[in-house]
Amino acid sequence: MTNTLTKNHIYNFLKQHRQMVLATSGKFPWIATVYYSFDEDLNLYFLSDPSTLHCKQIAKNNKVAVAIAESPQDINKPKKGLQISGVAQQLSEIEKITQALKLWKQYLHVRDPKLTAKAVKNKMYKISPKRIKLFDQDLFQGADGEEPILEL
């Protein structure tokens, strides 16, 4: 067991999942479940229509929180999950959209030829993590609330 959280621990956890819960804030907080992909810097990418409530809130307040958890998870077994706080942005440059969409389609095994950078313009978002907490009781020692945190 270890108590030092590394980017590699987080990368390995992200590779095992496909959906994240995204929390935003406006007049009231909101949560949306979205499919994600990620890069080597642990940036998360997702597609969503700008007219959705979570995207409208991101446009006004780009600070977001993300949760990804093993599901289903037996309450009697070691906990596994990831919590992230970061900054979200809508991608606007076609080169960045193309790159992010390629990652997203490869990671999620999306084969729709109509899903091009031009078709998803204004719908691709990036989350740059600032703080990451990993729950993995098989890997890390410590009581609840004392899990290791990685600041980026």
β-sheet bridge partners, residue 14: none
What is this structure's pTM? Answer: 0.94
User: What domains appear along the chain, each with residue ranges and CATH number?
Assistant: 7-151 (2.30.110.10)
SS3 at position 76 = coil
pLDDT of residue 51: 97
Q: Kindly give, in sequence order, each residue whose CB lies less than 8 Å from that of residue 91, ignoring residues fewer than 6 positions away.
A: 97, 100, 124, 125, 126
pLDDT of residue 2: 60
**Tens digit of pLDDT for each residue in 73-118?**
888 888 899 999 999 999 999 999 999 999 999 999 999 999 999 9
Q: How confident is the model at residue 68 (pLDDT cuts 50, 70, 90)?
A: very high
SS3 at position 18 = coil
Higher model confidence: residue 80 or residue 24?
A: 24
